[in-house]
């Protein structure tokens, strides 16, 4: 019976050092291999050219590197790049590179499918198969960094967790991936250039605050009226706005970091005055900004883009209370570059 090998990236640097000592080698060899795995993004042990062949063979016997593979890549006329990423077990997720004149943003996935049931989102129609491992999340970012350098002549500048899946339902792995991205031994990116977007799970928002994370928080709100929000996002019945508000107030007290609200306005669903007034009231609880997002319809059903007049009503009401509002237009329409539902927007961190 063949024993399944462990992904070597599940080991910490100290564990790698201990492995080499236990196998009659030098501890520093663990440092070398760790650098190959994270800083250099090695796809195989054969890539580790400054490691002896006998050592590489020993690693091959004991471990695997469950590296992702970009199965297909589509480039939009506006520079957006959509990756279909194949995982080691054959499952596929999406990631997107979103360029502007001054920067490039990676939109990455955290789950295969999604744990939640947002009615407007294409990913929510896919059954959640499993959580992504830290290395699989990191690999998406590394692949987009290479594409950014290739197509836009500069390194990746920002990351948003707005792809497939709910990041807070895969908390430990997402946090470990972010730790590697921000580590000098990884990509060395500032956590202030990273935004995690959640559908709003109060206890996990509080946990992030307690863990003193340094990245930014976005909440897919879409309505500040419980009944309307439950129609849009049925799972939110378990997380009423009162609890979400309390968690966000706790977040701001602990972190002093503004919250971004992601908000799509749909025709006949949340484009009325009561919805505008409710959002204005909700925005007064903690310092925030609002991203109004152009909707990318997934079918001819009930979720359809609202009129420009409805969008302007939101903008005027929010600006009247001093809230910064930005309208995010759809990107990559010619390649249908929707990662989850929000990834093809002009993401901002």
CB contact set of 251 (below 8 Å; sequence gap of 6+)? 205, 206, 208, 209, 217, 257, 259, 286
CB contact set of 206 (below 8 Å; sequence gap of 6+)? 247, 250, 251
What Cα–Cα distance (Å) separates residue 140 from each residue in 4, 85, 93, 193? 24, 8, 10, 16
| Cα 163 from Cα 198, distance rounded (Å) | 10
| Of 178, 168, 174, the residue nearest 115 (C-alpha) | 168
| Of 240, 176, 206, 246, the residue nearest 13 (C-alpha) | 176
| Cα 44 from Cα 28, distance rounded (Å) | 20
| Cα 234 from Cα 126, distance rounded (Å) | 15
Query: Under a CB-based contact definition with an 8 Å cutoff, are residues 12 and 162 in contact?
Result: no
Query: Under a CB-based contact definition with an 8 Å cutoff, are residues 263 and 292 in contact?
Result: yes
What token pair was written down for 172?
A: 């430990």
Residue position matching structure tokens 């930005």: 326
Is 339 a known active-site residue?
yes
| Of 233, 304, 235, the residue nearest 262 (C-alpha) | 233
Find the angle CA(289)-CA(118)-CA(89) to the nearest 5 degrees: 110
CB contact set of 97 (below 8 Å; sequence gap of 6+)? 80, 81, 82, 83, 104, 105, 106, 107, 144, 147, 148, 151, 156
Active-site option among 94, 133, 147, 294? 94
Is 94 a known active-site residue?
yes
Active-site option among 107, 114, 121, 339? 339
Catalytic site positions: 94, 339
């Amino acid at each position: 019976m063949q024993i399944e090998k462990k992904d070597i990236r599940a080991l910490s640097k100290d564990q790698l050092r201990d492995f080499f000592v236990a196998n009659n080698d030098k501890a520093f060899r663990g440092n070398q291999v760790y650098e190959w795995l994270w800083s250099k993004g090695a796809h195989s042990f054969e890539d580790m050219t400054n490691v002896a062949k006998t050592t590489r063979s020993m690693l091959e016997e004991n471990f695997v590197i469950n590296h992702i593979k970009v199965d297909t890549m589509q480039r939009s006329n506006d520079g957006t790049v959509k990756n279909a990423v194949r995982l080691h077990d054959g499952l596929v997720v999406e990631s997107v590179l979103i360029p502007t004149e001054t920067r490039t943003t990676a939109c990455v996935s955290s789950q295969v499918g999604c744990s939640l049931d947002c009615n407007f989102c294409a990913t929510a129609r896919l059954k959640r198969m499993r959580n992504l491992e830290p290395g699989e999340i990191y690999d998406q970012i590394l692949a987009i960094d290479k594409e950014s350098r290739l197509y836009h002549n500069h390194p990746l500048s920002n990351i948003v967790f707005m792809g497939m899946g709910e990041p807070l339902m895969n908390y430990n792995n997402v946090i470990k991936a972010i730790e590697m991205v921000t580590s000098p031994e990884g990509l060395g990116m500032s956590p202030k250039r990273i935004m995690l977007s959640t559908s709003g799970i109060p206890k996990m928002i509080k946990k992030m605050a307690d863990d003193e994370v340094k990245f930014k928080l976005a909440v897919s709100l879409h309505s500040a009226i419980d009944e309307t929000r439950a129609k849009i996002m049925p799972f939110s019945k378990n997380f009423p706005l009162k609890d979400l508000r309390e968690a966000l107030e706790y977040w701001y007290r602990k972190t002093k970091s503004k919250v971004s609200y992601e908000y799509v306005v749909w025709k006949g669903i949340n484009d009325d005055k009561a919805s505008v007034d409710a959002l204005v009231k909700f925005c007064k609880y903690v310092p925030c900004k609002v991203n109004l997002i152009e909707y990318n319809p997934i079918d001819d059903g009930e979720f359809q883009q609202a009129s420009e007049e409805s969008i302007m009503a939101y903008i005027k009401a929010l600006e009247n209370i001093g809230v910064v509002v930005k309208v995010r237009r759809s990107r990559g329409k010619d390649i249908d570059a929707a990662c989850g539902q929000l990834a093809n927007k002009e993401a901002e961190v």
